[in-house]
Structures are given as C-alpha cells and as structure tokens.
Amino acid sequence: MQEEIINAVISKYDTLAILPTGGGKSVCFQIPGLYFEGITLVVSPLIALMNDQVENLKKRDISAIAFHSGITKREAAIEYTNIKNGKYKFVYVSPERIKTELFKEVIAETPIKLIAVDEAHCISQWGYDFRPEYLLISELREILKGVPCIALTASATPQVEKDIKEFLLFNAQSKAFKQTTIRPNLNYVVLDDENKNERLLKIATKLKGTGIIYAKNRKTTVLLASLLNKNGVVADFYHAGLELENRHLKQQSWQKGFTRVIVCTNAFGMGIDKSNVRFVVHYDMPESLEAYYQEAGRAGRDGEESWCVLLYCNPDKISAEKLLNSKYLDKKTVQTFFNALCNQLQMAYNCGFDETFELDTIGLAKKYNFQLPEIQTALGMLQKEGVLKLSDSYVNPSRLRILVDNMALYKFYLANPTFELFIKTILRMYGGIFDNYIHISEFEIAKNLKIPLDRVKEGLERLTKMQLFDYLPQNEKPAVTLLMPRPEIIPYDSTRWKFLKQAALDRLKAVFNYATANECRQELISKYFGETDNHLCGKCDVCRAKKKTMGSVLESVKEVLSKYFSQNYCSFETIIEQVGNQSKNLEALRFLMDTGQLKKNKEGNYIWHETAKK
C-alpha cells in the first residue's frame, strides 16, 4: 500500500494513510518529500520520535531538524534562519510551535511543498490521545494554500477518520488508504487468572523467543523483571524514570538478543525496530483498544507465528475505572495546582509566554502537599486546555555546538595541549558541529577516550565557560513550556471535560468487552476499527476453544469437504447431503464459513478452501 500512498501524495492529493504499527508510515511522506523541490514540514507530538527520525535521515545524508519546545531560544533563532534559507529538506515540528506568530511568519517565507501530520488521531476528541494543539494545523493549511497534506496514523475508528479529514481541511478529491487490522500470524489470547505472576512465568518459560511485557507502573516493571530472572528467564525492566544512557543500554541489549524479555511501561516501543518478537503480554489492562492494538502489534512483524496475551481478572475492571476517574480533576483543584506551579517557577501574572522551565515534581509535591499522580493529571489537563506543554526531558539528548571557527579552536588547543585529544575526538565523532547544535552522547565520548563519564561532562562544561563550546546537557527533570502568559483564571471547559471523560470510559468499556466477550478476538478488533469484511481468525483462544468443542465432528466435516468439494463450487444443499444436517455438523459448517475456509461466490455456491489447518 505504500506505493499507492506515495503516488497519491506525489500527485498532490490530500491523503489519509492508516497503516498498522511497523507498517512503514514514515516512508510514505519521506519519499515524496525527497521528490518535491522544497521542504517537507512534519508535525509530530512526540519529541522522541522526531529525534529518532531526524537522526535516521541524517545517517542517509538527508538534511533534517527537529524543532520543539526542548530547544533553547538561541538554537531557535539560528534554526529559524536556516529553515528560511532552505537548509533542511525535512523540518519536524511539535504542534504547539504552530501557535507562535514568529513560526507562522517563518513558514510563510519558506518553500514548503508538503505537510505531513504524524499521529493524526491526536486531532480528534474521539481519539485516545487527543491533543488540542493539533487543531492549529488548519492554520498552516490556510497559510500554505495549495500545499498537499498527508495524515498518518496506526489506528483510527470511523469517527476519528472523519475528524482527521474535517479538521485538516481535506478537499473533496482527497484519497484515503486503510490497511486491514487483521494480522493472520498473531494469536490473540485473554487469560482470566487472578494469579498473574504464576501465569506470566508459565508464558515466559513455555513460549520461545523474544518477548515484551507491558505493565502500568514503574514499580511493577522492576518487580516482574526480578521475578522472571529468579525463575531462569533473562529479563530487564525499562521505564521513563531511568537515565538516558541506561535506557539506551537496556534497549540495545534486548534488541541484540542478550536480554530475552523486556518488562516495561508504555514508554518503551517508540522507534523499536525488532521483527522477531514472539510474544507481547499485557500484565495490566490497557486504557483503549487502540493502545492495545498498537502495543500488541509489536509482535510478529516478520510474519512468523506470535502471541498477544492479555492477563485479565475481575478486579482489573474496578481498578481501571478508578484510575480513569482520578484523571479528571475539577477546576478548583487544577487552578490550585497551577497557582502552586507558577509560584514554584517564580512566574508573575501575564508573564512566561513561550518560556521553558525545569519542572521539579517531587519538590512541588512536598512543598504544596500534592500526590505525584495528581500532579501528572493536572499537568495533562492544563496541556489539553492549551495552557502549557509538558516535555519529558529524557527524550531530548544532550546537544553541543562549537561557537568559534576551526582556526580559533586550533590555536586554543595548541596553547592548552591537555584539551587537544578531547577536542579532536569530538570533532572526529560529530560532523557539522560548527554550524548546528548536534546531539551527542557523553557516554560514547567517554568510551572513545577511555576516561570516566564525569570527566567528559566536566571538560564540556569548562569549554562552555570559556565560550568555545555551547554544551546543553541532558537534564533528567521534565520541562514545562507556557503556551500563554500566566492567566489569573485558567481556561477550563467543563462541557469538553465531561465529553472527554465519557469518551475515555467508552474506550475502556471496549477493552472490557474484548476481554470478556465469547467472540473471536481478531474480529472484535477489526469491527472496532470499522472493518466490515470480517472472518473469524480461527486461532485466538475463543476460536481454538470452539474448535476443541467441536472436536472430531469438525475434522470429519473437513474431511468430507476436502474430498468432495475442493475443485468446484456447489450449493449448500449439496454439502448438507454429503455431511448430514445434524446440528453439530451445521455448527461445524458455520465455523468453517466464518473462518473463510468454506468460501462463497456471487451465485451463492460454496467451495472448500482451507486457509488454516491449525
């Protein structure tokens, strides 16, 4: 489907592309971006994904920049000039950047030839990850009239598809491409068991190959990884609270096969390119089928048989609903939190617009008597109201730019020989560092120089004080950017919050239905996403149970069909004559029809077409 999408974009149609996780969405706008004479503007809400794609483009000698709230004002001023001068082929931008007048002025003077909107479901209030700032993208379309737009997402219900087209101002001639959600090699299973730990151990020891286990919180990832290791399964944990280098090492160890199972929060998965994941287990209930489908879909990308397991028990429903309800605070609580936050940041009224501040959530919790989950919820609500933008700083690696020219640097290390090897190593490792802020890894520099990590950081800081370098170190604290001057009264749309809460409850209800319904799991997922041409998968736990119930009856019916009707179509009456019209035989025939093994033509006749013998 990629080729069809690319051709539509090159032909300058507004295009919606719904491709599953790992379906190669980025290629669908990167190839047209290379084809067009000019710049492609990519809107993405995820700094981690932006940085990852920019680095991958640079490795292919394609100029690109990620422009988001994590960059400094000095960087922004330099890069605005570079963008206007057409230095980059791809400009990745976070949606809140669109709000600034300066950005709009720069874009109006820049030869933009394509707009790509990644994670396009974020534009819909019906979507599971609604971001109000995505609604600003329509302003870009007004500024860049005639420039085609491609919207991409891994999952969208029919209502979300409608919203994407409407809010992105797609014209009547727009094209839409949707790949089926059905993955024939995946076995979906729900296990109802209150002893989840014991069940998890059985899965991890019985199933072969690499696995991912998703858990709700950081503490659980640590405990489960320990449990697996104690029982002979080589496992590690991963969450957003770990230092950048530590996360990188854990991810690399898993990707290279040294770690067999990674136990993680949903912070893990962005940019993961591992095709041979044999199982994905959800230890806790996901918040939506969209999230479950994307995370479970990281299994079996090589087309080999793989397993997607949800561990579920009745108490999960109560705890999931309680957690969801706690994510919607009243206006008074959010206002109290916002005042405390502004006081901590020493921010006066009508000040702070477009400024980025470090956020000390632990200090905030202690000083103003807030719980950490309450802080995260309040920040999320303020973000949805367009008051601020929260950026987890771990997704923005350390950056470095050399402020002097090559000759000045040469003279410096001649006069200061202790710095010579240090500076030369950095120059050798990172090209373009005189012109741009380059992402660096202090860990890799230390490894190359064979010196401790602290000495590398100390050297970079000393050269920055001498005004030779501008070193912007990785900061493990999150950052918050004000998207408006500090208001006395925060905006709070009660009607919208009521709507969003109900939409979230509906999505959670769909997960409960998936977990408890006695229907084909794969078919339930495809129906949820609006697909009408559905068949039973024949391999999920529900389908396997039906096969087992029918047992020898199913096998005998299949034997008759394969013997008598494998070559030509015949009427259903003829089939009944051969297999008999007992209720058990009719049930077996219905199962074979539903799984697509007994196929029907336009005339209403059938042919035996066994697609799955397992």
Residue 373 has pLDDT above 60, yes or no: yes
DSSP category for residue 487: P
pLDDT above 90: percentage of residues in the chain: 55
| Dihedral (Cα; 271, 503, 496, 20), 10-degree rounding | 30
Q: Which has more pLDDT, 229 or 533?
A: 229
Q: Quick one: CATH architecture of 541-608?
A: Orthogonal Bundle (1.10)
Average pLDDT over residues 303-328: 92
DSSP category for residue 45? S
Task: Please answer whether residues 288 and 128 qualify as being in contact, where contact means their C-beta atoms are separated by less than 8 angstroms.
Answer: yes
Which residue, among 234, 183, 195, 194, has the nearest Cα to 213 in the 3D structure? 234
> Which comes out higher in pLDDT, residue 212 or 359?
212
Average pLDDT over residues 278-294: 94
Residues 6+ positions from 247 with CB-CB distance below 8 Å: 238, 394
* Residue 588 to residue 541: CA distance in whole angstroms: 17
In this structure, are strands 306-312 and 356-358 parallel, antiparallel, or unpaired?
unpaired
Q: Put the strands of the sheet holding 64-67 in their side by side order.
A: 64-67, 90-93, 39-43, 112-117, 149-153, 15-18, 175-178
**Burial environment of residue 222 by CB neighbours within 10 A (0 to 12, 13 to 18, 19 or more):** middle
Q: How is domain 186-312+509-528 classified at the CATH fold level?
A: Rossmann fold (3.40.50)
Q: Which is more confident, 241 or 404?
A: 404
CATH-assigned architecture of domain 2-178: 3-Layer(aba) Sandwich (3.40)
3-state SS string over 506-562? HHHHHHHHHHHCCCCHHHHHHHHCCCCCCCCCCCCHHHHHHHHHHHHHHHHHHHHHH
Q: Which amino acid is at 440?
A: I
Rank 87-101, 435-449, 509-523 by mean pLDDT and report only the highest. 509-523
C-alpha to C-alpha distance for 586 and 592, rounded to whole angstroms: 10
What is the pLDDT, as a whole number, of residue 70? 66
**Residue 164 CB contacts under 8 Å (≥ 6 apart), including other chains:** 16, 120, 121, 123, 124, 151, 153, 156, 170
- What's residue 614's pLDDT? 39
**Cα distance between residue 81 and residue 84, in whole Å:** 5
Q: Is the pLDDT of residue 186 over 60?
A: yes
User: Is 322-395+477-492 a domain of CATH 1.10.10?
Assistant: yes
CA distances in angstroms from 379 to 30, 386, 423, 434, 542, listed in the order given: 33, 11, 41, 37, 41
Helix axes 521-528, 289-296, angle to 10 degrees: 120
Q: What is the mean pLDDT of the chain?
A: 88
Q: Mean pLDDT across the stretch 36-62? A: 88
Which of 369-376's residues contact partners 24+ apart within 8 Å by CB, and which partners? 370/337, 370/340, 373/326, 374/326, 374/329, 374/333, 374/337, 375/337
Distance of alpha carbon 463 from alpha carbon 473, whole angstroms: 13
Residue of 158, 168, 113, 180 lying closest to 137 (CA atoms): 168
Q: And the tokens for 566? A: 């494998």
Q: Tell me the whole-structure pTM to 2 decimals.
A: 0.79
> What does the alpha-carbon distance between residue 327 and residue 377 come to, in Å, rounded to a whole number?
5
Kindly list the distances between the CA atom of residue 201 and the CA atoms of 198, 215, 224, 230, 362, in Å, as whole numbers in the listed order.
Answer: 5, 15, 9, 10, 35
The residue whose two tokens read 């696995």 is: 211
